[in-house]
Amino acid sequence: MESFSWSLYTKKMQDLLRRPLSIGQFAKTPENMHICSYEGGSKDEGNWYRLQIMIDLTDGIIADVKYIFFGPTILLVSLEGIARYIVRKNIRQAANVTVEILDRTLRDQDARPAFRDRHGPYVLFAVEGISQALESAPQIEVADYSTPLEEPLAFKGERSGENWPQLSHESRLSILEQAFEEHIRPFLAIDEGGVQILGIENNTEIKIAYSGNCTSCFSAIGSTLNGIQTLLQERVYPELKVVPDLENLKMIQESH
């Protein structure tokens, strides 16, 4: 069994180790709930866990998560991080959680990954258990559910577009593309949505087009849009404004 030094973990990961809240098993299934389970790995090989996900049958929201495991501490960190992240997500969102998303929720510093290369196989092993468990979930019509764009860290660094007025159009697009790729698209993908940059108008207006489920979600012109704009103002340039292309938003068309 491979061991991992305490120094390899971020402060958030160390907190999960000190206070694991989801270790255990469900004793029974409450009314109107369904428990999905997955067991992976081998105790003989020192790398095993059983994951249980409790789903509310009325709306498809994950009510609770439990796990037991046998293996290195990084497996505990991964399972505990997963448990805390997917609770109150719906089953579609939970199935789309990736190693990248989990990594960003456990970082202490924005530019420094939480997981090291040595952690990779164990983290992926744990994350794959989510979709494996949810394969046994019953067919549930997921209620309308939207959350603001999630940003795990309060940004305190230097803005990447601090000298925005002096930058070329190509440089501005490059900076924006990096911000979208690193901090926006991974979270929209949880809702099976996406976003593209259409262009820059009047120097500070960023025109975007949604794709996937974002085109039929009202938060696309509300909390999600505000989240994108706030993130760009904090990380790139404070005077940026985000303008969505309304032609591809189904809920706008259907309301007229």
Q: What is the pLDDT of residues 73-86, one digit of tens each?
A: 999 999 999 999 99
In a domain, 150, yes or no: no
3-state secondary structure of 13: helix
Do 33 and 129 lie in one domain? The reply is: yes
Do 123 and 11 lie in one domain? The reply is: yes
CATH number for the domain that contains residue 40? 3.90.1010.10
pLDDT of residue 51: 98
Q: Is the pLDDT of residue 238 over 60?
A: yes
Question: What is the rounded end-to-end Cα distance, in angstroms, of the chain?
Answer: 61
Do 182 and 123 lie in one domain? The reply is: no
Average pLDDT over residues 50-63: 95
Domain that holds residue 200: 164-254
Q: Is the pLDDT of residue 48 over 70?
A: yes
Do 224 and 175 lie in one domain? The reply is: yes
Do 64 and 174 lie in one domain? The reply is: no
Average pLDDT over residues 192-199: 91
In a domain, 156, yes or no: no
pLDDT of residue 233: 92
Q: 82-105, pLDDT tens digit by residue?
A: 999 999 999 999 999 999 999 989
Q: How confident is the model at residue 232 (pLDDT cuts 50, 70, 90)?
A: very high
Q: How confident is the model at residue 256 (pLDDT cuts 50, 70, 90)?
A: very low
**Domain count along the chain:** 2
Q: How confident is the model at residue 250 (pLDDT cuts 50, 70, 90)?
A: low
Residue where one domain finishes, among candidates 134, 149, 180: 134
Average pLDDT over residues 205-209: 95
Residue in the block written with tokens 């095993």: 48
Asked whether the CA dihedral 223, 229, 230, 235 is positive or negative, the reply is: positive
In a domain, 142, yes or no: no
pTM of the model: 0.81
- Residue 79 to residue 106: CA distance in whole angstroms: 12
CATH number for the domain that contains residue 237? 3.30.300.130
Q: 120-167, pLDDT tens digit by residue?
A: 999 999 999 999 999 999 998 876 555 556 554 455 667 888 899 999
In a domain, 1, yes or no: no
In a domain, 20, yes or no: yes
In a domain, 198, yes or no: yes
Work out the mean pLDDT of the chain and round it to a whole number.
88
Residue where one domain finishes, among candidates 114, 134, 154: 134
Q: Is residue 46 within 8 Å of residue 4, measured between CB atoms?
A: no
In a domain, 17, yes or no: yes
* 76, 78, 80, 85: CA torsion to nearest 10: 180
Do 129 and 169 lie in one domain? The reply is: no
Q: How confident is the model at residue 251 (pLDDT cuts 50, 70, 90)?
A: low
3-state secondary structure of 113: coil
pLDDT of residue 146: 59
* 157, 160, 166, 169: CA torsion to nearest 10: -160
In a domain, 141, yes or no: no
Q: Is residue 131 within 8 Å of residue 209, measured between CB atoms?
A: no
Q: How confident is the model at residue 214 (pLDDT cuts 50, 70, 90)?
A: confident
Do 108 and 182 lie in one domain? The reply is: no
